[in-house]
Amino acid sequence: MSTWISAHVLLRDAMDRAWSTGRPSRRVRAALAAPVTPLAAKTQLRRSEMGVGMRHDGTTDPDSTRLCVRAFDGTSSHLLATAAHADSLIVVPPGPEELPAGTAVEVVVL
């Protein structure tokens, strides 16, 4: 998982500059659909899915226009199946406290 994530976050932009592919990574801001617990001393890149009006259970609110992101369960590198379903990576800054639902976070679009 660390190689896959590093390639998206670090190599993609370098390859775009080197070969002028026109496909640099995109980063957006979105609200957390559910709380996320950070690590105390490390920035995490959590596999996730984005959607407009997404709720914590993955369903959507048809009346919402807010871009939301939901982290997949588990952070272990052996959980490759979540990578197949991920359309984004949440940038979770280090900190001592849980980030509550609704917190605006940076998201790397895959």
Per-residue pLDDT for 110 more than 90?
Answer: no
Confidence at 30, pLDDT banded by 50, 70, 90? very high
Confidence at 15, pLDDT banded by 50, 70, 90? confident
Q: Give the residue carrying structure tokens 């998206």.
A: 8
> Which one is predicted more confidently, 97 or 3?
97
Half-sphere exposure of 102 (CA within 13 A, CB side): 1
The rounded mean pLDDT for the chain is 84
Q: What gap in Å lies between CA 74 and CA 44, rounded to an integer?
A: 12
- The distance in angstroms from the start CA to the end CA of the chain is 14
> Which one is predicted more confidently, 63 or 81?
63
pTM for the full model? 0.81
Query: Percent of the chain beyond pLDDT 90?
Result: 45
